[in-house]
A = this chain, B = another copy of it.
């Protein structure tokens, strides 16, 4: 599916509202107000509120797949450095698209069936399989140790990053960084989180610190 300028604007405004107040906590009238359109336009373009959410997932899902493949295919680079690139790629993505990741981390709790759950599962499967291949590659080169629980490792990477951005307001208060500007805080998070996740990942994959 392709989206026109107006559709993308609606999707962006809806995304912001869904992130802030939840899918069920946001009414189509609020979306229409924010996007400065008539309520009927949402049904006209997307069919329904639910399908608008699906369109957002569809749109965001497509983007991420390419970046991962690109990194995996790189040659002349150590496996651990590929992992590092994937981590940094993920952190940048999650910081740039905080609203979408907030929605996803909320909706994946609720939707254990339905079209959105299927989209999420597909995304996860893709990522997982790519990383599994990468780790096997590292194991063959004896860079990584033999028994690695890929699922738990990814749960930690994704869980840490997700939890950080979904609870940013708590984190800021607890780490006494609430005087910082939002942009500076994001920058600071990016560096710290990158270092942190690379440290953990290295410990899990190799036997070094």
Please tell me the size bucket of the interface on A: 35 or more
Q: Chain B residues with Cβ under 8 A from A117's Cβ?
A: 169
Q: Chain B residues with Cβ under 8 A from A163's Cβ?
A: 105, 155, 158-159, 162-163
Assembly stoichiometry (copies): 2
Cβ of A120 under 8 Å from chain B: yes
Given contacts A158-B163, A166-B108, contact A209 B203 (CB under 8 A): yes
CB distance from A160 to the nearest CB of B (A): 4
The answer to whether A109 touches B120, judged by C-beta atoms less than 8 angstroms apart, is no
* A residues in contact (CB < 8 Å) with B: 19-25, 102, 105-106, 108-110, 112, 117, 120-121, 124-125, 128, 149, 151-152, 155-156, 158-164, 166-167, 169-171, 173-175, 192-193, 196, 199-200, 203-204, 207, 209
Given contacts A109-B102, A203-B199, A209-B203, contact A155 B151 (CB under 8 A): no
Considering the complex, give the chain B residue whose CB is closest to the CB of A156: B160
The answer to whether B169 touches A151, judged by C-beta atoms less than 8 angstroms apart, is no
Which of B151, B162, B167 contacts A171, CB < 8 Å? B151
The answer to whether A155 touches B173, judged by C-beta atoms less than 8 angstroms apart, is no
Main secondary structure of the interface of A (DSSP, over half): helix
CB distance from A182 to the nearest CB of B (A): 13
Instruction: Knowing that A149-B196, A159-B159, A200-B203 touch, tell me 20 more A-B residue pairs with CB under 8 angstroms.
Output: A20-B110, A22-B106, A22-B109, A22-B110, A25-B110, A105-B109, A109-B166, A109-B167, A112-B169, A117-B169, A121-B173, A124-B170, A124-B174, A151-B171, A151-B174, A152-B193, A156-B156, A159-B164, A207-B209, A209-B209
